[in-house]
Amino acid sequence: MAKNYTVRHVCRGLFASLLALCAGLAPAQSAFPSKPVRIIVPVTTGGPSDLVARLLARELEGPLGKPVLIENRAGASQTVGANAVAKADPDGHTLLQAAANMAINPFLMSELPYDTVKDFAPVSLTHLTPYVFVVSAQSPVTSLAELFKFIRDNPGKISYGTTGPGSPQQLATLLLAQMVPLGDMTEVAYKGSSAAHPDLIANRVTFMIDPLAASAPHIKSGNLRALAVTTPQRNAVYPTIPTAIESGVAGYDFASWGGLFAPAATPRAVVLQLNTEVRKALTGEVLKKRFDDMGLVAKPSTPEEFGAFLVSEMNRWKGLVKKAP
């Protein structure tokens, strides 16, 4: 009898030890992050998405305890970088700093290599991007009204910069053309804002509706002239730049956005951990000042809010994209 008791006692002890060992191993196996986190930016360096990703990376490294690396993968209207994230391991170590093209490309392209809604897990909105009408400092144009007159007085000679089909720059210009009769203009597409700026500064391109964050350094240096911002209100950091509405384009309202996505099937706990740290960073004084300096508006959200926002943006732009040339 004593022998049986001893065996049962030993077995129970071994079972309890095994449970304790497994409990001790579980956190180590599921800990996130377990390696450097990579944020893929689907555009070239210098634009709002790239700038925001780099600022966020610095703020996230401390709380995550791992390096946060930036990888620019531009191409095919931002689908190259997006596809890389859609196909990445869903463990939270590969993220996408996406822009408004995520809501536009499903209607711009007949075949995407991913499903915009099903293949990504929204983490958080990061920012809104006001845009600005800019011309070269060498241009004779000094106001939005003068730009419109200049365009009408020079039919067939006007060019405007964009970052490709379906880009925010193209949509902002298309929206303008629907509200103001301007006639024929030539679109010049670039891989990113930074690639367009040399031609714009040299006055080889007539104008561009560019992210304020991207053009701001050139506006400050005097190489570009800001004519009007695209939002209904003036920008708090650049209060002397009038709005397009103030400049005579009633109802004109345009802004882009950015946000972080993870691959679909990323564990919910990982998405929430990333969301928590991103929200802390975006509401902190460091990023608030940097965003203000660049003319960006911090816009943190829950994953659910971001997912709903993406769908609403897809519905908003569906009709306009189909009218794009």
Confirm whether 6 is domain-assigned. Answer: no
Residue 203 is classified by DSSP as T
Q: What are residue 161's DSSP bridge partners?
A: 188, 208
Confirm whether 108 is domain-assigned. Answer: yes
Q: Please give the Cα distance from 156 to 95 (Å, whole number).
A: 43
pLDDT at 18 over 70: no
The answer to whether 38 and 2 have CB atoms below 8 angstroms apart is: no
Query: Into how many domains does the chain fold?
Result: 2
pLDDT at 149 over 80: yes
Phi-psi region of 214 (alpha: psi -120 to 50; beta: other; left: phi over 0): alpha
Confirm whether 54 is domain-assigned. Answer: yes
Kindly report the average pLDDT of the chain as a whole number.
89
Q: Please give the Cα distance from 107 to 92 (Å, whole number).
A: 28
Q: What are residue 256's DSSP bridge partners?
A: 129
Same domain, 139 and 220: yes
CATH no. for residue 221? 3.40.190.10
pLDDT at 6 over 80: no
Confirm whether 166 is domain-assigned. Answer: yes
Same domain, 107 and 154: no
Is residue 307 very low, low, confident or very high in pLDDT (cuts 50, 70, 90)? very high
Q: Which H/E stretch holds residue 81?
A: helix 79-86
For 113-133, what is each residue's pLDDT tens digit?
Answer: 999 999 999 999 999 989 999
Same domain, 136 and 225: yes
Q: Please give the Cα distance from 285 to 292 (Å, whole number).
A: 10
Which pLDDT score is estimated for 23?
Answer: 45
The answer to whether the pTM exceeds 0.95 is no
Same domain, 103 and 53: yes
Share of the chain above pLDDT 70, in %: 90
Which pLDDT score is estimated for 324?
Answer: 59
The answer to whether 133 and 227 have CB atoms below 8 angstroms apart is: yes
Confirm whether 318 is domain-assigned. Answer: yes
The answer to whether 129 and 255 have CB atoms below 8 angstroms apart is: yes
Confirm whether 10 is domain-assigned. Answer: no
pLDDT at 261 over 50: yes
Same domain, 139 and 221: yes
Same domain, 281 and 195: no
Domain around 64: 37-128+256-322
Count of alpha carbons within 13 Å of 258, Cβ hemisphere only?
A: 29
CATH no. for residue 101? 3.40.190.150
Same domain, 138 and 95: no
Same domain, 203 and 290: no
Same domain, 280 and 218: no
Confirm whether 241 is domain-assigned. Answer: no
Residue 55 is classified by DSSP as H
For 213-222, what is each residue's pLDDT tens digit?
Answer: 889 999 999 9
Return the higher-pLDDT residue of 101 and 324: 101
Same domain, 135 and 178: yes
Share of the chain above pLDDT 90, in %: 69
Count of alpha carbons within 13 Å of 20, Cβ hemisphere only?
A: 6
Residue 93 is classified by DSSP as S
